[in-house]
Structure 1
Amino acid sequence: MVGTGGIADGRHLPALDAAPDVAVVAAVDIDVERARECAAKWRIPQSYTDVQTMLDNESPDLVVVCTPPALHRDQSIAALRAGAWVLCEKPPCRSLAEYDEITAAEGEAGPYAAFVFQHRFGSGAEHAKALISQGTLGTPYVALCQTTWFRDDAYYAVPWRGRWDTEGGGPAMGHGIHQVDLLLDLMDDWVEVRAMAGRLARDVETEDVSTALVRFSSGAMGSVVNSVLSPQQASKIRVDLTEATVELSHVYGYTNADWTYTPAKHVTAERVAEWGEPATDETGSHAGQLASLLADMRAGRRPRCSGADGRSSLEFTSAMYKAAVTGRPVFAGEIVAGDPFYTDPSGGRTDWSFPSAPAEQP
């Protein structure tokens, strides 16, 4: 376990502790006392302040990375080169260039680096994905994706938050990427994005609100809203198809009850019954993604949320930032080596600003 803060203690370590045939052998943190306290609480035999020393001494099968985003690339690459698989918290890293460096360090048959997009792994999401991808609910037309959360000034007092060089972006990168990843997993490939972003209330370098319009390869269109200024917090996805509207409404995690299917008027009750229900009621949790990853490790196959599959939401977010800065549409596959947004989602601007309408319209 690399990084022993709140997400490690509250999500990853409980999942690892409950997983069969798994032993956590070391905790790593630059704060020596915090590493020791974590090790004592979770009955971990060793604690370290340096990742490479831990890798040399322990030779772990899996390294779970729960550090700030600026550290993800180097720590993930070090683990891969040591022969360990990686499960890295979101966002995967700060840029597409860093992501491609991580995947370049993978072996042809592993080890692989997977990234934490746990909302894909709930039974409700898997059921919805199956119905949509199999065409049972018809053709998708409209998609809505909303992450409207609230983070106050005290939240951004943590030095690495709200900065391009340490966090890689604002709520689109650090918060809304969860719901965006789930939306992209439910839909077909995105092909075009247009966006706006603003810094309205928080004393940060990045945005605190963003909106985007997206077109998918099927022709379906969607909108994405990310905010950390919303007193009433919500995480929502809605997909309107020929046969039904599929909706998910929650905040930080869902059960089957948070998914709603509204059939179109022409759909009979018999056809609705054929849609079925999930066989289990699994939340979209870290434990669910860990179980899937462990199964993939044992089978020696590439896990979900790795490689091209893990890159899609990062590419979308980078494209959204580029669209917001340039004021023009950005297309899938456009951001490649040589593009300033490939190495830095801010486009390399030290004074990041957003296009604004002129004071007087003609």
Structure 2
Amino acid sequence: MNALPGTGPAPPGPLSVELTGSGPLLSRARPHRPDGAHTVLVEPLVVGVCRSDLKEIAGRRPGPSQFGHELVGVVARSSTPRLPVGARVCLDPNVPVLRGTGFARAMWVGGDDEPLARALPLAPAGVPERRLVFAEPLACAAHCLTMAGRHLGRAGLRGAAMCVLGAGTAGVLISRLAEAAGAGVSLVNRDADRLAFLSARRMLPGAGGMRLAEAPSGGHDVVVVATSFVLPELLTHALRLVRPGGLVMLYGGTAAGDRLPGLDCDLDRVRRGELVAAARWRGRPVRVGGSYGTTPADFALALRALAGAPDGLGVERLITAEVALPELPGLLRRMAAERCFGKVLARP
């Protein structure tokens, strides 16, 4: 995918991308410094575009805004010694602090000392920014695998037969991390072109990828629904792919009241509550489990994986475009309207 044409260098001063009723727009308003016991000013170095950003642009994401949360930045000002000036940090958007968007030259973060330190985990030295920008989505992948093991009643997933349904960034990261943990992983997608993209970038798991229509039924201990939304058609396929008594993990988006006819399970409650429900599907027993958010342990695991030799799970091979901040609003509109592959980065 090619970046949109540039709009020329931005003038000095504050610059950010804000969501409005007309979509993402550039703003030169000075970022608002929040109230709180402590405040930290972060200058983003690189910010990744997440599918949740695109959902917000399209008006299809319930809950609090997380717009512009995949970032690596440098602390420019700080009132807490736990986050010294000059430190490189990532962002955990699931920690309750006050913050602006990472799609900006400067982002204030405010709150008490302990939540601030958890919200801005220190980045390991020597790891490239283009790799560290995957810390938050990789932490979400790590949490999904942790919860899958918990729902199965086991300490890990080594030796488990896993199918990841959805070959977007989330599905790829879950696959890579699960394979590194010793699971046997298949990556399944509705269309072949995304699998071809991943194959060309050497990002398919060892068991390879296959189209959803060709995936064999009933052979997996765990099936993760890692698509943007847990749509009825996709959940039906996941229930077909899992073995009797196996686990279907809800990772993609759900909305209040979501159900699948014939499956006695409140999907949104299970996902957001990280519950596991025993149910039956077409006469077979099945478990349905949820994964939602991250913990500090997930971020620590993700940062260790990204710092690992030789290339931190190869995540940089997923990057397809890097753009300057003035180009970002148009590119976001385009990405929200079109089918795009890989990870796009913005450099404020």
Question: TM-score with structure 2 length normalisation?
Answer: 0.33
Bigger strand share: 2
